């Protein structure tokens, strides 16, 4: 039994899409370990989520409903993941490299006495299972080995496709046996409600930088994004200046995106920003400074004032798309 | 209140890193080092906590002897004393966490504030592993922190919005951006820091075996993107997106 366990993520009763590329990673890992892919869903009333994830070519889904899991807390989720990993004989435990995955898995790794790989972009066999991951803001790629029997991995989901839907796997209730934590409490989650697609799986992303000079001016970024059915992103400088919510931040320490089309509007192109968007298929840069480093990675650059270009571009696109 | 904060010596994040020809690491000759950016937020928050609640700030680094520089910087900002756990080995996050856990067992701080991630290895694990080893609660990606009655209330930057969590002290808090605005070390601060106590230990003094669980085997440069075309105007851009990139 050298199985792979995927910790599923869900929000508002629905599977979060970041779980799907994680399943693809898990299938690749399972092909190397000779095991099966199992999924764990923790929550309170997650039967539907368990049923949904069962359709993606996995072997089995385990779900635990409990008031203790109503809201995510590393202190209660970690022991449950550990118990599930041990129960199914997992040698690889994986989760998306989301804020939840990053918060939870190191705690799980410590408890399983396992080495951990953050942000894996590949798994392969090279005289034993190896992982590839970026560091130094994506300026270096490393090949790493984990010497412990159990390996814990967060997965950079933009580097794996979503699996196709197929026959549903069996779904089983799992008794995590976890009681409420006495040293940690969930207080609240203030969700940024949006009709737009999620940044991490949008086909188009329009991102604005500090050059936009105000939050109001971000409206033209949103208009362009809405015209193309895309998501909205921002540089850290724009977030720090209060022009955009932190949830929009793209980069080394924000989100990593890889859409088909990325617009960088009034963004200089600092390496920390590039770390989050260099994987985009087509990059368009709009910047008034012809020497801005962003033009060195852009497929198409337009030198000029964003305040003139973006609204005009949006107007023209409206008649096309 | 006794506050423990950590600093990691890292390569200057704004410098281009170069990989050694034999791909076993990065070139360190002539490279500038500084305190990990996120640790600056951690140190600043420790100082704010001391300003509000009184007490003492202990700053810890695990690294080479040269890391005394980053410890002195934190002391110049306002930390009271330093501990260097000296090693020239490339430790993984788990080994660093095991070392820090021993220091914390000796020091018994009320709260630990550290960076959420190191800007060189980008792992974002150390705080959480440490919390697990100590069986402390954790609050990662903190953008706000308030301490009262033995609990910390922490605003956290998470996917989809922000979350608020309460953790009972002692706890591990990891700093995200916007937690504060790190102060610069003043000249009098720098002078004073030179006289502040700095203890040097080794992992074996602490009884910690630093064998890594994760080894880095190979360092490679990613494929570079090539600069594309500068287009004249919006119509040309739309034409290229439609006919060349085929994304419209
Ligand atoms: C530890 C650490 C982590 C970081 N993490 C991230 C991260 O995750 N993501 C991130 O983005 N950054 C991150 N940064 C910050 C990063 O280094 C840069 O400071 C930031 O990306 C710059 O953002 P910007 O390009 O919007 O702003 P600026 O550098 O101020 O650039 C603004 C640009 O707008 C252009 N401009 C101005 N006005 C106009 C106009 N009217 N029309 C067109 N163009 C115009 C200018 O020419 C300029 O190029 C991090 C930094 C550190 C130290
Ligand atoms: C001389 C030397 C050279 C090294 N060179 C490399 C290298 O080239 N490549 C490489 O990948 N690793 C290198 N390391 C190992 C590196 O220190 C560990 O990877 C790191 O300590 C593990 O944490 P992280 O960077 O993943 O931290 P993260 O989990 O990303 O960091 C979270 C937080 O943990 C704290 N923290 C992490 N490390 C330390 C520390 N050492 N001291 C105090 N606080 C810390 C900080 O507050 C940090 O902000 C080197 C270590 C040493 C001593």
What is the per-residue pLDDT for B15? 87
CA gap A126, B118 in Å, rounded:
28
Positive or negative, the Cα torsion across A222, A223, A229, A230? negative
| Of the partner residues A109, A144, A189, the one whose CB lies closest to the CB of residue B129 | A109
Residue of B105, B110, B106, B107 lying closest to B150 (CA atoms) = B110
Q: What is the DSSP letter of B19?
A: B
Residue A90 domain flag: yes
Q: Is residue A135 part of a domain?
A: yes
The set of residues, in sequence order, having a beta carbon less than 8 Å from that of B18 and lying 6+ positions away, is B26, B27
What is the greatest pairwise CA distance in chain A? 61
- Taking only residues 88 to 147 of chain A, the set having a beta carbon closer than 8 angstroms to any beta carbon of chain B reads 98-100, 102-107, 109-111, 114-119, 130, 134-147
The CA-atom distances, in angstroms, between B65 and each of A300, B5, B10 are 47, 18, 13
Q: How far apart are CA A262 and CA A158, in angstroms?
A: 14
List the one residue out of B144, B229, B134 whose CA is nearest residue B180. Answer: B144
pLDDT digits (tens, 9 = 90+) for A76-110: 999 999 999 999 999 999 999 999 999 999 999 99
User: Is A196 annotated as ligand-binding?
Assistant: no
- For residue A193, pLDDT over 90 is answered with no
Is A271 at the interface with chain B, CB within 8 A?
Answer: yes
- Do both A216 and A151 map to the same domain? no
Average pLDDT over residues B216-241: 95
Q: Are residues A131 and A211 in the same domain?
A: no
Entry pTM: 0.93
Asked if B247's CB is within 8 angstroms of A281's CB, the reply is yes
Above 80 in pLDDT, residue B43?
yes
Span A297-320, mean pLDDT?
A: 97
CA–CA separation, A307 and A301 (whole Å): 16
Please name which ligand lies nearest the alpha carbon of B216.
2
Q: Are residues A73 and A18 in the same domain?
A: yes
Band (pLDDT 50/70/90 cuts) for residue B58 is: very high
Print the domain residue range for A163.
3-173
Interchain contact, A110 vs B97, CB within 8 Å: yes
Residue nearest to atom 50 of ligand 1 (CA): A272
**Most informative mutation of B8, B43, B212 for ligand 2 (most atoms within 8 A of CB):** B8
CA of A270 to the centre of ligand 1 (A): 6
Q: Is A235 annotated as belonging to a binding site? A: yes
Order across the sheet with A261-265: list the strands: A231-234, A204-208, A261-265, A282-287, A300-303, B229-230
CB contact under 8 A, B161 and A183: no
Interface test with A, best of B214, B245, B246 (most A CBs within 10 A): B214
- The token duo for A125 is 């066999």
Contact B177 A253 (CB under 8 A): yes
Virtual CA dihedral for A241, A246, A250, A255, nearest 10 degrees?
160
A1 touches chain B (CB under 8 A): no
Q: Is A210 one of the annotated binding-site residues?
A: yes
| Shared-domain flag, residues A23 and A164 | yes
Expressed in angstroms, the distance from the first to the final Cα of chain B is: 59
Q: Is the pLDDT of residue B215 over 80?
A: yes
**Minimal C-alpha gap between B176 and chain A (Å):** 9
Return the pLDDT at B177.
87
Residues A155 and A25 in one domain: yes
- Measured CA to CA in angstroms, residue B154 lies from A235, B47, B174, B213 at distances of 24, 17, 10, 31
Instruction: Give nearest CA residue, ligand 2 atom 45.
Output: B8
Q: Could you tell me the maximum CA-CA distance found in chain B, to the nearest angstrom? A: 69
Chain B CB within 8 Å of residue A164 CB: no
Q: Is residue A199 part of a domain?
A: no
Determine the distance separating the centroid of ligand 2 and the alpha carbon of B117, expressed in angstroms. Answer: 9
In a domain, A185, yes or no: no
Atom of ligand 1 nearest to the CA of B13: 53
| Distance in angstroms (rounded) separating the CA atoms of residues A157 and A140 | 18
Tokens matching residue A63: 């779900």
CATH number of the domain where residue A70 is located: 3.40.50.620
- Residue ranges of A 180-219 with Cβ closer than 8 A to chain B: 181-192, 204
Q: Tokens for B79, please give them.
A: 């930390």
Q: How many angstroms separate the CA atoms of A84 and B27, rounded?
A: 42
Sorted by sequence, the CB contacts under 8 Å of residue B172 that are 6+ apart come out as: B112, B114, B127, B128, B130, B131, B134, B136, B137, B138, B139
At A196 the pLDDT is 94
Asked if residue A181 is part of any domain, the answer here is no
In this prediction, residues B197-222 reach a mean pLDDT of: 97
A148 interaction partners in chain B (CB closer than 8 Å): 213
B27 pLDDT band (50/70/90 cuts)?
A: very high
| Residue B53 pLDDT > 80 | yes
**Spatial distance between the Cα atoms of B239 and A316, rounded to a whole number of angstroms:** 11
Same domain for A146 and A70, yes or no, is yes
Residues A229, A157 within the same domain: no
- Provide the percentage of residues in chain B whose pLDDT is more than 70: 100
Top mutation candidate among B118, B125, B134, B177 for ligand 2, by most atoms within 8 Å of CB: B118
Q: Look at residues A129, A154, A173 and tell me which one is the last residue of a structural domain.
A: A173
* 3 state SS of B47: helix
Contact A155, A133 (CB under 8 A): no
**Residue A1 scores a pLDDT above 80:** no
CA gap B243, B248 in Å, rounded: 8
Cα–Cα distance measured from residue B215 to residue A16, given in angstroms and rounded to the nearest whole number = 32
- Whole-number pLDDT of residue B16: 87
- pLDDT tens for residues B84-137? 999 999 999 999 999 999 999 999 999 999 999 999 999 999 999 999 999 999
Q: Domain B2-244: which CATH class? A: alpha beta
Say yes or no: A114 and A62 in one domain: yes
Residue A182 CA: distances (Å) to CA of A82, B151, B156: 19, 11, 20
CB atoms closer than 10 angstroms to residue A110? 26
Q: In chain A, how many domains are there?
A: 2
B92, B221, B240: residue with CB nearest A140:
B221
- For the CA atoms of B92, A138, A262, A157, the dihedral, rounded to the nearest 10 degrees, stands at -30
Question: CB A136 to CB B120 under 8 A?
Answer: yes
Helices (H), chain B: 37-53, 68-77, 93-107, 126-134, 187-193, 234-239
| Each residue's pLDDT tens digit, A258-287 | 999 999 999 999 999 999 999 999 999 999
Segment A37-45 shows an average pLDDT of: 98
In this structure, what DSSP letter does residue B241 have?
A: I
- Between the CA of B221 and the centroid of ligand 1 the distance, in Å, is 23
Torsions phi, psi for B116 (to 5 deg): -75, -25
What per-residue confidence (pLDDT) applies to A239? 95
Average pLDDT over residues A173-180: 97
Asked whether residue A229 falls in the same domain as residue A130, the answer is: no
- Three-state DSSP string of chain A: CCEEEEECCEECCEECCCHHHHHHHHHHHHHHHCCCEEEEEEECCCHHHHHHHCCCCCCEEEEEECHHHCCCCHHHHHHHHHHHHHHHCEEEEEEECCHHHHHHHHHHHHHCCCEEEEEECEEEECCCEEEEEEECCCCEEEEEEECCCCEEEEECHHHCCCCCCCCCCEEEECCCCCCCCCCEEEEEEEECCCCCCCHHHCCEEEEECHHHCCCHHHHHHHHHHHHCCCEEEECHHHHHCCCCCHHHEECCCCECCCCCEEEEECCCCCHHHHHHHCCCCEEEEEECCCCCHHHHCCCEEEECCHHHHHHHHHHHHHCCC
Pairwise CA distance, residues B61 & A38, whole Å: 39
Beta carbons of A116 and B165 less than 8 Å apart: no
Q: What ipTM does this complex have?
A: 0.96
Residues listed for chain A:
321
Q: Where do the domains of chain B lie?
A: 2-244
pLDDT digits (tens, 9 = 90+) for A283-306: 999 999 999 999 999 999 999 999
pLDDT at A321: 83
Cα–Cα nearest to B104, from B141, B73, B129, B75: B129
Q: Does A296 touch chain B (CB under 8 A)?
A: yes
Taking the C-alpha atoms of residue B153 and residue B145, their distance in angstroms, rounded to an integer, is 6
Q: Answer yes or no: is A269 within a domain.
A: yes
Scanning the structure block, which residue is given the tokens 């004073």?
B192
- Whether residue A291 contacts residue A306, with contact meaning beta carbons closer than 8 Å, is answered with no
């Amino acid at each position: 039994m050298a199985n792979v366990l995927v910790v599923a993520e869900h929000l508002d009763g629905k599977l979060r899409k970041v779980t799907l590329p994680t399943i693809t990673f898990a299938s690749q890992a399972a092909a190397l370990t000779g095991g099966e892919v199992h999924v764990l869903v923790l929550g309170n009333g997650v039967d539907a989520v368990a049923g949904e994830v069962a359709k993606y070519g996995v072997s089995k889904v385990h779900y635990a409903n409990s008031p203790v899991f109503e809201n995510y807390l590393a202190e209660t989720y970690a022991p449950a993941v550990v118990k599930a990993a041990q129960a199914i004989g997992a040698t690889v435990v994986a989760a998306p490299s989301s804020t939840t995955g990053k918060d939870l898995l190191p705690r799980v790794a410590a408890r399983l006495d396992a080495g951990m790989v953050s942000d894996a972009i590949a798994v392969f066999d090279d005289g034993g299972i190896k992982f590839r991951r970026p560091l130094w803001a994506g300026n270096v790629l490393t090949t790493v080995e984990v010497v412990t029997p159990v390996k814990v991995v967060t997965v950079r989901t933009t580097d794996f496709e979503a699996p196709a839907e197929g026959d549903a796997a069996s779904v089983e209730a799992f008794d995590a046996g976890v009681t409420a934590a006495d040293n940690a409490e969930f207080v609240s989650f203030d969700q940024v409600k949006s009709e737009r697609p999620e940044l991490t799986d949008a086909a188009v992303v329009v991102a604005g930088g500090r050059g936009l000079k105000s939050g109001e001016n971000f409206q033209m970024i949103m208009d362009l994004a809405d015209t193309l059915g895309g998501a909205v992103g921002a540089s850290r400088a724009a977030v720090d200046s209060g022009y955009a919510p932190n949830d929009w931040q793209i980069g080394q320490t924000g989100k990593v995106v890889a859409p088909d089309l990325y617009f960088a509007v009034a963004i200089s192109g600092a390496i920390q920003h590039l770390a989050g968007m260099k994987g985009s298929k087509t990059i368009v840069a709009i910047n008034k400074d012809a020497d801005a480093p962003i033009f060195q990675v852009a497929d198409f650059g337009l030198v000029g004032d964003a305040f003139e270009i973006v609204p005009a571009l949006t107007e023209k696109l409206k008649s096309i798309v | 209140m006794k506050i423990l904060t950590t600093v990691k010596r890292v390569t200057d994040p704004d410098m281009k890193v170069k990989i050694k020809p034999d791909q076993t690491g990065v070139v360190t000759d002539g490279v500038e080092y500084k305190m990990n950016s996120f640790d600056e937020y951690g140190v600043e928050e420790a100082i704010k906590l001391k300003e509000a609640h009184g007490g003492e700030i202990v700053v810890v680094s695990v690294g080479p002897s040269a890391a005394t520089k980053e410890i002195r910087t934190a002391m110049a900002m306002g930390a009271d004393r330093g501990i260097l756990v000296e090693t020239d080995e490339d430790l993984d996050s788990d080994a660093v966490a095991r070392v820090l856990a021993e220091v914390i067992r000796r020091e018994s701080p009320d709260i630990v504030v550290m960076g959420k991630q190191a800007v060189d290895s980008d792992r974002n694990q150390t705080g959480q592993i440490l919390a697990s080893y100590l069986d402390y609660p954790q609050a990662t990606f903190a953008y706000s922190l308030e301490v009262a009655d033995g609990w910390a209330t922490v605003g956290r930057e998470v996917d989809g919005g922000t979350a608020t969590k309460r953790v009972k002290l002692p706890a591990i808090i990891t700093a995200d951006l916007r937690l504060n605005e790190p102060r610069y070390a003043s000249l009098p601060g720098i002078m004073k820091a030179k006289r502040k106590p700095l203890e040097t230990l080794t992992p074996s003094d602490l009884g910690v075996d630093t064998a890594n669980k994760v080894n880095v085997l190979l360092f490679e440069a990613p494929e570079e993107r090539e600069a594309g075309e500068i287009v004249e105007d919006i119509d040309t851009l739309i034409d290229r997106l439609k006919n060349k990139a085929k994304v419209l």
